[in-house]
Amino acid sequence: MNINGAAAIVSGGGSGLGRATAEALAAKGAKVAVFDINQAAAEEVARALGGAAFKCDVADAASAEAAVAAAEAAHGPARILVNCAGIGTPKRVVGRDGAQPLADFQRVINVNLVGSFNLIRLVAASLARGETLPDGERGVIVSTASVAAYEGQIGQAAYSASKGGVMAMTLPIARELAQFNIRVNTIAPGIFLTPMLLGLPQEAQESLGRSVPNPARLGRPEEYAALVIHICENAYLNGETIRLDGALRMAPR
Ligand SMILES: NC(=O)c1ccc[n+]([C@@H]2O[C@H](COP(=O)([O-])OP(=O)(O)OC[C@H]3O[C@@H](n4cnc5c(N)ncnc54)[C@H](O)[C@@H]3O)[C@@H](O)[C@H]2O)c1
């Protein structure tokens, strides 16, 4: 996929990995639509990179439908979708107050898994109605899982289940959308230095970094973004989940 001039949607583009991805796509000449539930954050990023901001709750059907339609009106059908919106509130199955509230588990699944599917279905439907580009491609979709999809820690039942779901749906969707020349891949990041982790004391950040075999540091958002760019540009990558983690294997706690 030639990124230059292509319309792209980045969910969760107001922060962290999504923000770095929006910046990298814009630097490659994409017309970037920044989707985020945090409208102010989306607007700030869009302003900085010359894109457009759209408030969107990925877990909500109507909100995503409106945002995808508005992005299409502004930039044309999105050829690139990057799903970065996500939440990761940890919670034990049995905590101090007893059983984990079911709504907490459902919220994480709704945002991370259902939210990713929500945008995939809408962008795929729009691309399916359109034309394949001269290079033989019609679109590229990249979602974000986590190494917690493989080795989730204590407290990550919902998060791991949601990210396992993102990983598991990658192949069936890639198989189905092959008829439209749309590729579908997923990145499973290790521990990246995003606002979530920047809030930790320096010592805690360094100790987390030392747990990574090589390089023994936290991942940089631009390293995630670089892989998104590569997935977009490499037409033979399809149906795959790629770990991006410096060989990290998470311990139980
Ligand atoms: N940072 C890491 O170490 C790491 C590791 C593995 C996976 N991930 C995954 O990468 C993705 C991005 O993480 P990050 O570290 O950049 O997080 P972040 O908190 O910096 O950014 C996430 C963004 O998603 C937005 N968002 C949350 N709920 C939303 C919703 N319902 N609709 C639309 N937007 C919503 C937030 O407002 C925020 O701007 C997440 O899916 C996360 O699970 C992150």
Q: Whose CA is nearest to atom 41 of ligand 1?
A: 86
In a domain, 201, yes or no: no
pLDDT of residue 205: 84
Cα(13)–Cα(36) distance, rounded to whole angstroms? 6
Cα(153)–Cα(252) distance, rounded to whole angstroms? 5
Active-site choice (150, 159, 224, 236): 159
pLDDT of residue 244: 98
In a domain, 110, yes or no: yes
* Range(s) of the domain holding residue 111: 7-191+220-243
pLDDT of residue 137: 98
Tally of domains in the chain: 1
Q: Please list the pLDDT of the chain residue by residue as tens digits (253 residues).
A: 999 999 999 999 999 999 999 999 999 999 999 999 999 999 999 999 999 999 999 999 999 999 999 999 999 999 999 999 999 989 999 999 999 999 999 999 999 999 999 999 999 999 999 999 999 999 999 999 999 999 999 999 999 999 999 999 999 999 999 999 999 999 999 999 999 788 778 888 888 899 999 999 999 999 999 999 999 999 999 999 999 999 999 999 9
Ligand 1 centroid, distance to 13 Cα (angstroms) = 9
Name residues whose C-beta falls within 8 Å of residue 120's C-beta, 6 or more positions apart in sequence. 81, 83, 141, 143, 173, 184
In a domain, 90, yes or no: yes
Ligand 1 centroid, distance to 86 Cα (angstroms) = 4
In a domain, 81, yes or no: yes
Annotation says 159 is catalytic = yes
* Pairing of the two strands 98-99 and 94-95: antiparallel
In a domain, 132, yes or no: yes
Is-contact 45 90, C-beta < 8 A?
no
Which of 17, 38, 110 maximizes ligand 1 atoms within 8 Å of its Cβ, making it the mutation to test the pocket?
17
Ligand 1 centroid, distance to 6 Cα (angstroms) = 24
Query: What kind and span of H or E run contains 233?
Result: helix 221-233
pLDDT of residue 154: 96
CA distances (Å), origin 105, targets 14, 76, 145, 248: 24, 36, 17, 26
pTM comes to 0.98
Q: Whose CA is nearest to atom 26 of ligand 1?
A: 85
In a domain, 123, yes or no: yes
In a domain, 32, yes or no: yes
Q: What are phi and psi of 237, to 5 degrees?
A: -85, 115
Q: Which of 149, 199, 143 lies closest to 171 in space, CA to CA?
A: 143
In a domain, 210, yes or no: no
Cα(17)–Cα(221) distance, rounded to whole angstroms? 5
Three-state SS at 181: coil
DSSP 98-140: EEPPHHHHHHHIIIIIIHHHHHHHHHHHHHHTSPPPTTS--EE
pLDDT of residue 207: 84
Check which CATH number belongs to the domain holding 167 and give it: 3.40.50.720
Using CB distances shorter than 6 Å, the residues near ligand 1 are: 11-12, 14-18, 36-38, 41, 56-59, 84-88, 111-112, 115, 144, 146, 189, 191-192, 194-196
